[in-house]
Amino acid sequence: MPKSVALLLGVHAHQPVGNFRHVIDDAQARCYGPFLRVMHGYPEFRFSIHFSGWLFDDLMQRYPEDMKLLREMVERGQAEIFGGGYTEPVLAVIPHRDRVAQIERLSGRLEEALGKKPEGAWLTERVWEATVVPALADSGIAYTTVDDYHFLCSGKTAAELDGFFTTEEDGRQVDLFPISEALRYRLPFSPAQEVVAYLEGLAKEAGNPAAIYFDDIEKFGIWPETYAWVYEKGWLRDFVEGVLASPIIRTMRYSDYRQTARTRGVVYLPTTSYIEMNEWTLTVPAAHHYADLVQESKNAGKFEQNKAFLRGGIWKNFFSRYPESNWMHKRMLSLSARLDALPKKSRTDEMRKALHEAQANDAYWHGLFGGLYLPHLRRAIYSAIVKLEHLLDSVSARGEKQVCDLDLDGFEEVFIQNGTLQIAVRLDGSASVCEWDAYRLEHNFADTLSAPSEHYHRKIHFNESDPHTGDGIANPHERVSFKDRILPEDLKADEGRKAIFMERWIAESGVEKLCYDPVPDRSRFGLSFEAQAGEGKVGKKIRLDENRLVVEYEFEGMGQGMFCAELNLAMPSCDGPAGRFRIGEDIMGGFGQELTVQDLKSLVLEDSVLGGKVSIHLNQGMRCYARPHFSVSQSEAGFEKIMQAVTISLSCRPQELKGPVSIVFGVDRA
């Protein structure tokens, strides 16, 4: 037989649940629509495509003409549609029952809309654990794709990875296709003719070899420089026509290839993801050490043979790295268990939809792409969590107080709820509020993010230049650029997790963080604490009263000094124009600005994105200093500063007060 190679070209389209409307519309204009229109013009070019369910339904509703092209390509056998979890969860970190439900929901939707039930599935972020095999098989999925790196980590050689393998777990099996890293880094960044030549070089006279590609479609139009490169300069058309003109390359859908080729044998893969993700999961300084080992291996010309054994961390490390991610994850798991415990007749589609949205992967992790640093994506998760909890409470009532160690950090939290508001108070000595939910607004006012130390921060210190040289365009994995000006003080890491009502005592002897012990409190919706401060002590009471959160401080014999309470409030508008401070009829500025009031009695935070407002009332005047809390992150657009919360510091001198201080927070709709 003449030399040939089968090109299995797959693309994956996804937008996070809760993403901005203009972002999705821009992605459609610069990527999804142009890609479908170009491919529709070449019926003989076979390929595979995956849309996450949330995005698929959005595009079907808003862009039916482009999605009609997709249906036509599926009907004529040109395009194969892949399934997966409906909201793009990392399957390995949700229960088996939810894995099956997520996959079946998307498969059913695709069959309904396109007339074809998927046989293959996209694995979110290629996060592999053998435990996902039963769920894939039980959902009717026969094969999925992971990186060739996964196979190298199991001991396979690169020369073996031009076909598919079979794995099994708990009596079920699926086939696994190894995605070529070499192709991931070439498409669409290298000139089209070079990619075609590379593909032809993979051809063999026997063995039915395959060139396997499956990666983000956003590389074809959304990533920096790619729209002009892929469409205006014609890269995609040149590539498609070059492939079709080649007597060596055969385009195939994954389903076609699997019918014509045999499995290369059984394989068992370790728990891993793609190589960049494994680095992102590591904390500093482990990430520094890992990066240095990788660079040393590259300098010695041994990286290709060593990289499978320089593995980094695993995806679940994100829960260890970021307490905010861990808290969301454990909240989601607890609600999944509550939903599963309901009688089937009490479970509703609205509950299932909210649970699935709470499982969307994007806000749980961070690297070059993950959205943990993006407040609007975390807000979407919490909105689903709070909504689901309220729905569950309507059919299965909870008590007013519950005590548990939700986040498994060794310290218990007390949840207090009155049907309108809910708070979670930490019993770690801080007596701080780490979650504050308003059910009517479906919002968590404690949803902020501490500024951690990140591995990539040292790139700023090193001032590395952009390595992009030669023909083609730069891969964002290798780019160092700046969206915002970053100063040294911006990189200062927070000492601990941000929360609401964190107190300290400032005296001539220094700054003292208050450490509280709980004291008996028999009220239905309240807790009481006491802490030593200076020469005396501070009493702290927290309670819910309808739509109000009330905190009272009582001071005894503390001597000279300053008492300060810090509140970090998540306001959805962040530093945008929709959020502002108001005192009486006076607008005092936006949340992205600093605000100082010497004798504050009342303050209102209005937020039209939230559709509500927070009113603060004090029985005695306190000094107020409000400022935006930023964190520095890296994305494909470059280094940027992202506002996470409004930090409000309320301070006073206890010796000048007339009795206890009461701070009342009221939550109302706009």
Reduced to 3 states (helix: H, G, I; strand: E, B; else coil), residue 73 is helix
What is the CATH number that goes with domain 457-669? 2.70.98.10
Q: CA-to-CA distance for 103 and 107, rounded, in angstroms?
A: 6
Two tokens, residue 291: 């990066």
Place of tokens 């008492």: 563
Q: What is the pLDDT of residue 632?
A: 85
Q: What angle do CA 315, 212, 162 make, to 5 degrees?
A: 105
CATH number 3.20.110.20 is the correct assignment for the domain at 5-276: yes
Within this chain, domains 5-276 and 457-669 share the same CATH topology = no
Q: How far apart are the first and last CA of the chain?
A: 73
Q: What is the pLDDT of residue 634?
A: 79
In the chain, domain spans: 5-276, 457-669
Q: CA-to-CA distance for 643 and 629, rounded, in angstroms?
A: 6
Enumerate the active-site residues: 125, 216
Q: What is the pLDDT of residue 38?
A: 98
Q: What is the pLDDT of residue 75?
A: 97
Two tokens, residue 378: 């975390």
Q: Beta 595-607 vs 579-583: how paired, if at all?
A: antiparallel
Q: What is the pLDDT of residue 456?
A: 81
Q: Which residues contact 140 (CB under 8 A, 6 or more apart)?
A: 104, 107, 117, 119
Question: pTM value?
Answer: 0.94
Two tokens, residue 271: 């728990």
Q: What is the pLDDT of residue 486?
A: 67
Q: Are 505 and 511 in contact (CB under 8 A)?
A: yes
Helix (H) or strand (E) holding 135: helix 133-138
Q: Tell me phi and psi for residue 219, to 5 degrees.
A: -65, -20
Q: CA-to-CA distance for 597 and 595, rounded, in angstroms?
A: 7
Q: What is the pLDDT of residue 437?
A: 98
Q: What is the pLDDT of residue 482?
A: 55
How many residues in total does the chain contain? 670
Q: What is the pLDDT of residue 462?
A: 46
Buried b (16+ CB within 10 A) or exposed e, 264-287: beebebebbbbbebbbbbbbbebb
Average pLDDT per consecutive 10 residues, the chain (670 residues; last block may be shorter): 92 95 96 98 98 97 97 98 98 98 98 97 97 98 97 95 98 98 96 98 92 97 94 98 97 97 97 92 92 94 91 95 97 98 97 98 88 95 98 96 97 97 98 97 96 80 44 48 63 82 93 95 92 93 96 93 96 95 96 96 97 96 96 77 95 92 92
Q: What is the pLDDT of residue 637?
A: 64
Q: What is the pLDDT of residue 509?
A: 84
- DSSP collapsed to 3 states, 499-528: CEEEEEEEECCEEEECCEEEECCCCCCEEE
Q: CA-to-CA distance for 628 and 575, rounded, in angstroms?
A: 8
Two tokens, residue 552: 């009272």
